[in-house]
Amino acid sequence: MAFTIKPFTDDLIPAVKGLNSRLTAGGAPPEFRFPENPTPEWLPKIDNRPIYREYFVLLVDDVVRGAYAFKHQDFSFRGELRSVGFFHWPISEGMVSKDYAPVALQMLRYAHREHPLLYGLGFGEYDAGPLPKILQALRWRLCQVPFHFKVNRPQRFLREIRALRKSAMHKMLLDLAVFTGTGTLALRMLQRARTERTTPDLQAERVEYFDRWADALWEECAERYAMIAVRDSDTLNILYPAERQRFLSYKVTRGGTVLGWVVLLDTPMQDNKYFGNLRVGSIIDCLALPENTSAVIRTGTRVLEESGVDVIVSNQSHAAWSTALRHAGFLAGPSNFSFAASKELAEVLHPFDVEFPETHFNRGDGDGPIHL
């Protein structure tokens, strides 16, 4: 089977539509469809922007059998800037036909050959599929980005949280916990036991644009993380533009001194397979010196709690941010947000098991907060 991989261009739109049609006919879930516009809606390549995405397709005998997205971005490795690639959204006809099972591997190999410093993030449904096995066979390093949650409205949470209501027995137990009030009591006691006293002089200022104060903070923080995507004002204004009003960006200060920033989402879910119809608050991105993480997390949490969300969630790879979440009353939960590093990237982060908890990844990285 001869493979050809090339950029997705206008002349290939019918071929990509054909791939999506075959995936639909083969019974692939609706989320496994590739965009049918060659220009990405999110992070298109504009001028000389250092952060952008491209789409690629894999053809077999002039028929598109797979496609993937690739994000270009600069990262700081304790102050040293290097360009790193993000391989994501791999869609393969191998999902519905064994004849094309090698497609995903070929796409990954091509992306890796072109950009050895390569990572994957998120995966979601792929965690249960062949992709992790392919990555391990290629000697990539895989681990989970820790997940934490805090319940703000316990009764509504227990009624709606589908991730915990997977069987009739689980539903009965949660309904009983709601009826008797034991669920509310248990959640509040667990969260209160973890919560440290807050500092009253922390201020949260809503911002539409990131400017020089964000650049100064970035310069302070860049050397303090083993690996972190560049988060200067230019990059942040591309990722979280003012016109996208769903991004709630806050500058966190104490006595006029900038401690950090946080980007939040407030999302009313509708028939979500994990959250049902809960109103979900998300801490999707943040930055501070490691010693100031608790102040930023507590401030972002307070904003979301006062807005009335049912539950607050966050994935954070850095140990200091995970600790800050715990100190704000968050509980640890199972994570479906995976990180994978190519062999070359893992070598830069050597020793990987020591360095990964010093990296900074969250929902603002990778695909972005598209599922929250």
Tell whether domain 4-115 is in CATH 3.40.630. yes
* Whether the model pTM is above 0.75: yes
Q: Are 222 and 287 in contact (CB under 8 A)?
A: no
- For residue 262, give both structure tokens: 């946080």
Q: How far apart are CA 164 and CA 170, in angstroms?
A: 7
Q: Which CATH number fits domain 147-360: 3.40.50.720, 3.40.630.30, 3.20.20.70, 2.60.120.560?
A: 3.40.630.30
Measured over the CA atoms of residue 280, residue 285, residue 288 and residue 293, the dihedral's sign is positive
All structural domains of the chain with their residue ranges: 4-115, 147-360
Please give the C-alpha separations between residue 210 and each of 48, 73, 213, 284, in angstroms, as whole numbers: 19, 18, 7, 16
Query: Pairing mode, if any, of strands 227-229 and 359-360?
Result: parallel
Tens-digit pLDDT string for the chain (372 aa): 789 999 999 999 999 999 999 999 999 988 899 999 999 999 999 988 989 999 999 999 999 999 999 999 999 999 999 999 999 999 999 999 999 999 999 999 999 999 999 999 987 544 556 677 788 888 999 999 999 999 999 999 999 999 888 899 888 988 888 889 898 888 888 888 777 766 668 999 999 999 999 999 999 999 999 999 999 999 999 999 988 889 999 999 999 999 999 999 999 999 998 999 999 999 999 999 999 999 999 999 999 999 999 999 999 999 999 999 999 999 999 998 899 999 999 999 999 999 999 999 999 997 765 556
Cα 306 to chain centroid, rounded: 24
Strands 311-315 and 147-151: antiparallel
